[in-house]
Amino acid sequence: MPALRSFLPATLLLPTLALAAAPPTIIRTQTASTISGSWIARLDDSSEFNEILASVLSSAGIESKANYTINHVKGFAFDGDDGVLDILETLTGIVHVEPDTKVYASVPLQHREVAPFANGSLVTQNGSTWGLARLSHEETGAKDYVYDSSAGEGSYIYVIDTGIYTSHSEFGERATFGANFIDDEDADGQGHGTHCAGTAAGTKYGVAKKASLVAVKVLGSDGSGSNSGVLKGIDWAVNNAKEQGHIDRTVLSMSLGGPFSQLTNDAIAEAVAEGAFVAVAAGNENEDASNSSPASTPQACTVAASTISDRRASFSNYGSVVDIFAPGEDILSSWIGFPSATNTISGTSMACPHVAGLAAYLIGLEGPREPESLCERIRELALEGVVEGVGSGTENLLVQNGVAA
């Protein structure tokens, strides 16, 4: 995306930026995850966005690397030093500035096959992955996945990740490329996004087998990206869903994370306010998920990882922000390289698309509802008290699709 430069005369702009009565919050702290010299700013949404943006850019002598307007959360990414931050601290129109930080997908690790058959309005998929089987049975050890034949039809899952290998046999004509917000090829060069898409909506490996998939690329072939890119991805997905007229049937699947970011959390809250359900991975640090984003967003449906033996996965984050557990260890799904490629990997990244797929499945089965109400519906269907070692402050709920006896 080309940089946005202000061409309005400074004499016209400067009077609009009086000294701020209440200075903005500017977080200057640098960590191992911050991108040196790169920042994200949120603007006051009470003014016209383009005018206030042009004024701020001119006054600070900077350029915007990316703009985002997600309902009431509006802002831009920029490069600058402490001198630039000192200027921004004196301006009205700036609400919050924080360092841009790296975000990551979980790291991969291998293969199998299935064959569905119909049985009335319910379909039984024999030889399913253990994760799918766990969704439709109260006890562990089942080998089949039972689901309603509606299978998420009419719903849309935006996979905000490394991209999707849309030619994979798992997706048929249901997966499309949407947008790319990282300096990398449009295709999935890593596999993580394709794996998540397969779990959410693959023909064999997916929860919602008739849902549509849209690739929103914010992570590169090394599995990393930036918060500024994630913000652009959220912005594009929400606006695209609104333009296409299906925001009330839209799910954002976000199997990524980094340090706590108020701007990322605010953006997701606004996506939910616009009508999109957002599933996020709890993170893989074996710590309280409130320390990371987007996992700590209250309005998102935050997913921790469970094992085949109904234990919290050793890597999974936990805590009061976690809404639900879903299978996340040794999950078989689609992969890149050739149309039938598969891989078995672990992470809360694998748990998240089980819930994203379930949200799409319930939209197809029960119709649209408010996103936070949909997360509550998922929690309502869950098994209580079956996961061992959930972690301090974590509610003990394990995902189910509602068909178990």
User: Beta 94-104 vs 66-70: how paired, if at all?
Assistant: unpaired
CATH fold of 115-398 reads Rossmann fold (3.40.50)
**For residue 340, what pLDDT is reported?**
97
Confirm whether 292 is a catalytic residue: no
Cβ pair 140, 404 in contact under 8 A: no
Q: Per mean pLDDT, which range of 26-30, 113-117, 398-402 is the poorest? A: 113-117
Checking 265-269 for CB contacts under 8 A at 24+ apart, the result is 265/293, 265/294, 265/296, 265/297, 265/298, 266/42, 266/73, 267/68, 267/70, 267/73, 267/231, 267/234, 267/235, 268/234, 268/294, 268/297, 268/299, 268/300, 269/73, 269/297, 269/298, 269/299
pLDDT of 5 > 80? The answer is: no
**Taking residues 3-31, what's their average pLDDT?**
49
pLDDT(108) > 70: no
Q: Which of 161, 235, 248, 323 is catalytic?
A: 161
Instruction: Give residue 383's pLDDT.
Output: 97
Q: What are the extents of the domains in the chain?
A: 10-101, 115-398
386 CB-near residues (< 8 Å, 6+ apart): 310, 396, 398
Summarize the confidence of residues 374-390 as an average pLDDT: 97
Half-sphere exposure of 203 (CA within 13 A, CB side): 17
Q: Which two tokens stand for residue 363?
A: 């939209």
pLDDT digit string, tens, across residues 312-342: 999 999 999 999 999 999 999 999 999 999 9
Residue-level pLDDT at 106: 56
CA–CA separation, 62 and 300 (whole Å)? 33
Does pLDDT of 13 surpass 80? no
Mean pLDDT of the residues in the chain: 89
Q: Which of 96, 137, 192, 195 is catalytic?
A: 192
Structure tokens at 29: 């702290």
Of residues 59, 293, 349, 354, which has the active-site annotation? 349
Instruction: Tell me, rounded to whole angstroms, the distance of Cα 132 from its chain centroid.
Output: 20
pLDDT greater than 60 at residue 175? yes
50-78 tens-digit pLDDT: 888 888 898 889 999 989 888 888 899 99
Mark whether 323 is an active-site residue. Answer: no
Beta bridge pairs of residue 383: 398
* Three-state SS annotation for 98-150: EEEEEEECCCCCCCCCCEEEEECCEEEEECCCHHHHHHCCCCCCCCEEEEECC
For 225, how many CA atoms within 13 A lie in the half-sphere containing its CB?
A: 30
What pLDDT shows up at residue 174? 98
Residue 259 has, within 13 A of its CA and on its CB side, a CA count of: 12
CA-to-CA dists, residue 61 to 68, 85, 89, angstroms? 20, 11, 14
In whole angstroms, give the CA distance from residue 335 to residue 110: 9
- This prediction's pTM: 0.86
d(CA 90, CA 20): 6
Check pLDDT > 70 for residue 277.
Answer: yes
CATH code assigned to 10-101:
3.30.70.80
Q: Is 349 a catalytic residue?
A: yes
The answer, yes or no, to whether residue 4 has pLDDT greater than 80, is no
The span from the CA of 147 to the CA of 282, in Å, is: 26
Q: CB–CB of 282/316 below 8 Å? A: yes
